[in-house]
Amino acid sequence: MRRVFVLPAIVLLTCIAGAQSSSQSSAKPSTAAPSRPTAIIDTTAGKMTCTLFPDKAPIGVANFIGLSTGTKDWKTPTGASKHGVPLYDGTIFHRVIPEFMIQGGDPAGTGSGPDPVRKFKNETSPDLLFDKAGRLAYANAGPGTNASQFFITEVPFTGQQAAMLNGNYTIFGQCDEASVALVKQIAAMSRDSNDRPYRPIKINHITIQKAGGMAAKPARTSTKKPATATPKPPANTNQ
């Protein structure tokens, strides 16, 4: 089993201390294009609203929308095929680190479960960096190992920390200020030595709104019963 992590987590824990949270990027924040869809992540702690970037990460956005709405097939940790079932519903934020990020999207709830979908390549742009809080990105275990796990950053990064993140993780969305406030709240939760919250926050459902505010239609559940047999940021350990 492969663990999906955000690789620089240990360094960030020791280097970010306090000062990072007050740092502000001089870079111009990206402006959401009118044609971009929005993801509303409804959790047991509140809702997060994030603009998706299909123009920057078409594969990653399509994957996220498909898994959120159930239009993309996936497998459970035991290998059962799921069709017409939203993957993220009921999953938890299994890894949280203050002054860094929160990570979720693993059906196994550990960050080291088997990939529920086929791994896909990184999609990075030199003009889309981790220089702003609220970046929505895929966790991975190295280049080309993105699957379902994602993370949302709490602060903007510069210097060595930014160098370790930029170009290594696919940014496919940007969450608004109210969402960042919620991320900070979740990241501050009491957790164990593996950064797992003692009482993890659960994702109830992710609603995708197309450009213009229309909600994307969820997949129709198949009348057939699916065969019996169904992952942290930035590291996908499998975290």
Tell me whether residue 79 is in a domain: yes
Q: Which domain holds residue 193?
A: 35-219+228-236
Tell me whether residue 3 is in a domain: no
Which residues make Cβ contacts (< 8 Å) with residue 25, sequence separation at least 6?
131, 132, 156, 158
CB atoms within 10 A of CB 166: 17
Angular region, 142: left φ>0, alpha ψ -120 to 50, beta rest: left
Taking the C-alpha atoms of residue 138 and residue 236, their distance in angstroms, rounded to an integer, is 9
Identify the CATH number of the domain in which residue 67 sits: 2.40.100.10
Write phi, then psi, for 107 (nearest 5 degrees): -55, -25
Taking the C-alpha atoms of residue 70 and residue 37, their distance in angstroms, rounded to an integer, is 17
Tell me whether residue 18 is in a domain: no
Tell me whether residue 138 is in a domain: yes
Beta bridge partners, 41, equal 48, 206
- Per the CB < 8 A criterion, the answer to whether 75 and 81 are in contact is yes
- Per the CB < 8 A criterion, the answer to whether 2 and 229 are in contact is no
Tell me whether residue 196 is in a domain: yes
- Per the CB < 8 A criterion, the answer to whether 233 and 186 are in contact is no
The pair of three-digit structure tokens given for residue 43, joined into one six-digit string: 């959790």
- Per the CB < 8 A criterion, the answer to whether 112 and 235 are in contact is no
What's the total number of domains in the chain?
1
Tell me whether residue 105 is in a domain: yes
Tell me whether residue 13 is in a domain: no
pLDDT tens track, the chain, 239 positions:
455 666 544 444 333 333 333 344 444 544 444 589 999 999 999 999 999 999 999 999 999 999 999 999 999 999 999 999 999 999 999 999 999 999 999 999 999 999 999 999 999 999 999 999 999 999 999 999 999 999 999 999 999 999 999 999 999 999 999 999 999 999 999 999 999 999 999 999 999 999 766 666 555 544 333 333 333 346 665 54
Tell me whether residue 68 is in a domain: yes
pTM score: 0.80
